[in-house]
Amino acid sequence: MKRSPGLRTKILGACALIVAGYVALLAHPEPLFSYSLTCSNITFFAHRPLPVEIVGIAASVARRVATSELRDSALVQRVFIVERPWVWILLNGPYARSMARNVELGNAILVPALDVDKGRVRHFDGRTADAVATISHEAVHTLVQRRIGLLRLWRLSWWQREGYPEYIASERGTTSEAPKPYRDAARRWKYFLEDRAMTFDQVVRF
C-alpha cells in the first residue's frame, strides 16, 4: 500500500521537527537543569544546588584560560554537570566515553559529574580527571571556535584542534593527566609557540 503524499509530508515534517528540537537542545541544554551558579565568568548548571566551593574551581579555570592569547574577558562559558547517565547519552551519543565535551553548536561544555571537594571530574564508568584542567581544555575549544569559525575548525588537523586546548589546560604543557596523544599534540604547540615564537594564527595555517 502506497503512502499518500500528505502522509509523507507529515512524516518528514515530524522528523524535521525532532531533529531541530534535538539540535536546539544540544546548543541550549538549560531546560534539563534546575540550578545554576555563575562565578569567574563561568555559569555552572546542575540538577541540585551547587556547593559554594565551586567558586575555587571556576577561579582556577579562569586564570588558566586567561593565559591563552585568545582570551576574552567578556565571554561567559557554560558548564553543565550532567550526573544522569541517560542525559549524558542523550547529549553525547557516540562521544559518551569522553571525560567532557564541548558541543560545537553553541559551545555547551558537558561533564558527567563533578566532585567539587576533590576537584575531579568523574565519569560514570569510574574514571576521573582533574576538574580545572578538563574544564579549561573545553573552555579553550570555545575560544578557538570563536577565533576561526566552525567550518575552519572542522578542517584542522587533530593535533591542531586538540593540542592547543591541552597546551593551555596543562599549563603550557607542564602538567597533564591526558592520554599520550593529547600530551604529544600539546608538545607540538609548545614547540611552535615557545621555541619558534609563532602565534596561534600562524600555527593553524599549517
53-95 pLDDT per residue, tens: 999 999 999 999 999 999 999 999 999 999 999 999 999 989 9
Q: How confident is the model at residue 4 (pLDDT cuts 50, 70, 90)?
A: low
What are the grid coordinates assigned to 39, written together?
Answer: 562565578
Q: How confident is the model at residue 17 (pLDDT cuts 50, 70, 90)?
A: confident
Whether pLDDT at 20 is above 80 = yes
Q: What is the mean pLDDT of residues 161-171?
A: 98
What are the strands of the beta sheet with 114-115, ordered from one edge?
Answer: 114-115, 120-122, 128-130
Q: What is the mean pLDDT of residues 126-133?
A: 98
- Structural contact between residues 192 and 186, judged by C-beta atoms closer than 8 angstroms: no
CATH class as words, domain 30-203: alpha beta
User: Domain coordinates of the chain in residue numbers?
Assistant: 30-203
Q: How confident is the model at residue 6 (pLDDT cuts 50, 70, 90)?
A: confident
- Structural contact between residues 196 and 206, judged by C-beta atoms closer than 8 angstroms: no
Three-class secondary structure of residue 159 per DSSP = helix
pLDDT of the residue at 9:
84
Whether pLDDT at 8 is above 90 = no
Q: How far is CA 168 from the centre of its chain?
A: 14
Please name the helix (run of DSSP H) or strand (run of DSSP E) that holds residue 38, with its range, or none.
Answer: strand 35-39
Ramachandran quadrant class, 149 (left: phi over 0; alpha: psi -120 to 50; beta: rest): left
pLDDT of the residue at 106:
95
pLDDT of the residue at 7:
81
- Structural contact between residues 123 and 112, judged by C-beta atoms closer than 8 angstroms: yes
Residues 6+ away with beta carbon under 8 Å from 60: 132
Tell me how far apart the terminal alpha carbons of the chain are, to the nearest angstrom.
Answer: 56
